[in-house]
Chain A
Amino acid sequence: MVILLNKKQFLKELRAELKQLQKEDLDPIMEDFEEHFEIGLSKGRSEEELVESLGTPKTIAKHVKADFLVRQAEDKTSFINFSRAFFAILGLGFFNLVFGLGIFLGILALLFGLFVAAGAFVFAGIASIISPFIEPFVDNLSLGGMNPLAVFFFGIGLTAFGLLIFIADGYITKEFFHMALKYLKMNIKIVTGVN
Chain B
Amino acid sequence: MKLNMEKIVYWLFTIMIVSFIIGGIIFLISGGFG
* A interface, CB within 8 angstroms of B: 144-147, 149-157, 160-161, 163-164, 167
Residue of B at shortest CB range from A168?
B9
- A155-B17 Cα distance, complex, nearest whole Å: 12
Q: Determine whether the beta carbon of B22 is less than 8 Å from that of A160.
A: no
B residues less than 8 Å from A147 (CB atoms):
26-27, 29-31
**Closest A-B pairs by Cβ, 10 of them:** A153-B23, A157-B19, A160-B16, A147-B30, A157-B20, A156-B19, A150-B27, A150-B26, A154-B23, A145-B33
CB distance from A130 to the nearest CB of B (A): 15
Total residue contacts A-B, CB cutoff 8 A:
60
- A151-B33 Cα distance, complex, nearest whole Å: 11
State the main secondary structure of chain B at its contact with A: helix
How many residues on B have C-beta within 8 angstroms of the other chain's C-beta atoms? 22
State the main secondary structure of chain A at its contact with B: helix
Q: Determine whether the beta carbon of A152 is less than 8 Å from that of B9.
A: no
A residues less than 8 Å from B29 (CB atoms):
147
- A156-B26 Cα distance, complex, nearest whole Å: 14
B residues less than 8 Å from A154 (CB atoms):
19-20, 23-24, 27
A-contact 0/1 string along B1-34, CB 8 Å cutoff: 0000100110011011111101110110111111
A residues less than 8 Å from B12 (CB atoms):
160, 163-164, 167
Known: A160-B12, A160-B15, A164-B12. A153 touches B33 (CB 8 A): no
Residue of B at shortest CB range from A164?
B12
Which of B9, B22, B26 is A164 in contact with, Cβ under 8 Å? B9
Residue of A at shortest CB range from B29?
A147
A residues less than 8 Å from B19 (CB atoms):
153-157, 160
Known: A144-B33, A146-B27, A146-B30. A153 touches B13 (CB 8 A): no
Q: Determine whether the beta carbon of A146 is less than 8 Å from that of B32.
A: yes
B residues less than 8 Å from A145 (CB atoms):
32-34
- A167-B29 Cα distance, complex, nearest whole Å: 33
